[in-house]
């Protein structure tokens, strides 16, 4: 009988444990993507980008004689229907770890099993399953450095080769048309602009990795902090949809380290930050939606407000912050250094709840990841594990001198600061909704808050909390 492969964030052929095992079984395979309510709920940019990834992966499957069947509806309605239509008796998938997916998958597994369907889940999204890393006393890690030390020398299994063919069923079940799903509907005008910056699919991801290993990894430890330098791998976008496996990246980074690339260890360490985020999300799932440390629950953060709207629009008058917010709107990505600055600025200078920022990132980032985004925001706000202490408030003005000394980043994304603005700065005005009524010829805004005052206000609120 055929086997249903329920694809989610694993849109690749190379080092895909479920797919490798399925190909080996010799059984007819039915790859299926379900647009379920959980996936419908994605933010605008990640949902649009997922649609591009699905289209690309469908092509890759076709080249192997298979198809990607598309269906819409709750998994527990779609799966039994496809099982009945095709005579399949098993459903396999690769695990996800965020609380929403875990709740769905746990229910699916128990319902299918009760119906006699062989439901089976596989690893593949991570280097280490979150429960396989333990402290000496069998607990979980709350601090990164010991987590890193405990995994850095672990053997990581070699990547599994891509299957060469996939057996097809005697007849294919009906599939929706991807265009009918309107995955980009919420992108308003922006999709055309952001489309210039994405690298979709497995082949693009592997190219990007090879390029980085060949040209970027040596200087990574230094260049990764400079937002105007193309000094990082750019692989988060592909990792989040499973277009590349972390083991493939790990193996490449490891080889580079063996051959003496100076930045390789730092790079491997960054990759393990992603693992740490998943480790935390598994053991403390509330990290995605509530203060990791409950003692922050009564902190004086403001709910959404007019200042936060200026922040979202890249109109705070603080150039590092605005360049970063516009970078995200135009490219769907934001440099890591800039993510830390804008998150600190929102939660401290603007005293606005980190959830306001987390939600905006979840709407705008093509590399949105439930674990890394939550960990990043709670790190910046002070409410998370292993956080930046609240009293360490990034000063965007001194940060910009340090990390963008020649103003390349600011000029690249803020048209109002340049006499002859470049294409990315100008395309911001094409990307934003018309209702924002932005115009590059208007003068650049004055700072929303005086940095020293904003800092004082944040520290006073923090002192009040501690007293």
- Please state the residue numbers annotated as binding site for FAD: 220, 232-236, 267, 367-369
Q: 352: which DSSP letter?
A: B
| CB-count burial class (<10 Å; 0-12, 13-18, 19+) for 407 | middle
Nearest residue to ligand FAD by CB is: 376
Comparing CA positions, the residue from 447, 357, 324, 343 lying closest to residue 390 is 343
What are the start-end ranges of the H helices in 202-287?
202-215, 220-223, 236-240, 246-258, 264-283
Comparing CA positions, the residue from 299, 325, 323 lying closest to residue 311 is 325
Per CB under 6 A, 368 contacts ligand FAD? yes
| Cβ atoms of residues 318 and 326 within 8 Å | no
How many Å apart are CA 277 and CA 206, to the nearest integer? 24
Per CB under 6 A, 242 contacts ligand FAD? no
Q: Which stretch binds ligand FAD (CB under 6 A): 13-21, 201-209, 359-367, 413-421?
A: 359-367
Q: In the complex, what is the shortest distance from the CB of residue 67 to ligand FAD, in angstroms, rounded to a whole number? A: 30
Q: Which stretch binds ligand FAD (CB under 6 A): 140-148, 286-294, 365-373, 384-392?
A: 365-373
What H or E segment, with its residue span, contains residue 70? strand 69-72
Q: Which stretch binds ligand FAD (CB under 6 A): 116-124, 159-167, 197-205, 230-238?
A: 230-238
Q: In the complex, what is the shortest distance from the CB of residue 343 to ligand FAD, in angstroms, rounded to a whole number? A: 4
Per CB under 6 A, 364 contacts ligand FAD? no
**Per-residue contact flags (x/-) with ligand FAD for residues 376 to 395, judged by CB under 6 A:** xx--x---------------
How many Å apart are CA 384 and CA 394, to the nearest integer? 17
What H or E segment, with its residue span, contains residue 455? helix 451-466
What H or E segment, with its residue span, contains residue 119? strand 118-122
Q: In the complex, what is the shortest distance from the CB of residue 211 to ligand FAD, in angstroms, rounded to a whole number? A: 12
Sign, CA torsion 198/199/202/205: negative
Per CB under 6 A, 369 contacts ligand FAD? yes
- Of the pair 232, 383, the CB lying nearest ligand FAD is at 232
Per CB under 6 A, 352 contacts ligand FAD? no
Q: In the complex, what is the shortest distance from the CB of residue 56 to ligand FAD, in angstroms, rounded to a whole number? A: 19
Per CB under 6 A, the list member of 234, 384, 385, 454 interacting with ligand FAD is 234
**Residue numbers at the binding site for ligand FAD (CB under 6 A):** 224, 232-236, 239-240, 270-271, 273-274, 277, 336, 339-340, 343, 361, 365, 367-369, 372-373, 376-377, 380
């Amino acid at each position: 009988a055929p086997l249903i492969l329920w694809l989610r964030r694993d849109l690749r052929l190379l080092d895909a444990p479920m797919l490798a095992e399925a190909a080996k079984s010799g059984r007819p395979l039915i790859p299926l993507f379900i647009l379920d309510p959980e996936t419908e709920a994605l933010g605008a940019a990640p949902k649009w980008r997922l649609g591009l990834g699905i289209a690309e992966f469908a092509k890759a499957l076709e080249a192997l004689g298979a198809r990607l069947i598309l269906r819409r509806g709750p998994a527990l309605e779609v799966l039994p229907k496809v099982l009945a239509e095709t005579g399949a008796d098993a459903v396999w998938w690769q695990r996800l770890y965020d609380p929403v997916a875990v709740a769905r998958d746990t229910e699916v597994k128990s319902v299918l099993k009760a119906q006699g369907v062989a439901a089976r889940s596989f690893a593949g999204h991570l280097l280490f399953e979150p429960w396989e890393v333990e402290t000496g006393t069998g607990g979980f890690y709350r601090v990164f450095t010991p987590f890193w030390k405990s995994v850095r020398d672990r053997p990581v299994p070699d990547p599994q080769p891509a299957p060469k063919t996939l057996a097809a069923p005697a007849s294919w079940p009906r599939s929706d048309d991807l265009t009918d799903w309107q995955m980009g509907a919420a992108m308003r005008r922006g999709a055309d602009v952001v489309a210039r910056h994405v690298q979709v699919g497995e082949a693009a991801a592997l190219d990007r990795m090879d390029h980085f290993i060949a040209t970027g990894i040596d200087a990574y430890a230094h260049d990764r902090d400079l937002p105007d330098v193309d000094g990082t791998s750019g692989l988060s976008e592909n990792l989040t949809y499973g277009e590349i496996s972390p083991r493939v990246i790990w193996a490449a980074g490891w080889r580079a380290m063996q051959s003496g690339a100076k930045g390789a260890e730092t790079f491997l360490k960054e990759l393990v930050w992603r693992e740490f985020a998943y480790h935390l999300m598994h053991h403390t799932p509330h990290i995605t939606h509530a203060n990791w440390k409950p003692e922050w629950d009564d902190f004086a953060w403001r709910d959404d407000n007019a200042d936060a709207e200026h922040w979202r629009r890249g109109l705070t008058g603080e150039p590092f912050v605005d360049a970063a917010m516009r970078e995200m709107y135009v490219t769907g990505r934001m440099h890591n250094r800039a993510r830390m600055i804008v998150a600190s600025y929102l939660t401290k200078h603007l005293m606005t709840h980190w959830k306001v920022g987390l939600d905006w990132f979840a709407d705008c980032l093509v590399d949105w990841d439930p674990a890394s985004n939550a960990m990043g925001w709670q790190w910046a706000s002070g409410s998370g594990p292993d956080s930046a202490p609240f009293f360490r408030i990034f000063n965007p003005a001194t940060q910009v001198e340090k990390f963008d000394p020649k103003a390349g980043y600011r000029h690249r994304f803020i048209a109002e600061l340049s006499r002859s603005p470049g294409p990315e700065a100008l395309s911001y005005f094409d990307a934003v909704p018309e209702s924002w009524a932005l115009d590059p010829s208007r003068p650049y805004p004055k700072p929303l808050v005086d940095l020293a005052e904003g800092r004082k206000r944040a520290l006073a609120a923090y002192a009040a909390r501690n007293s």
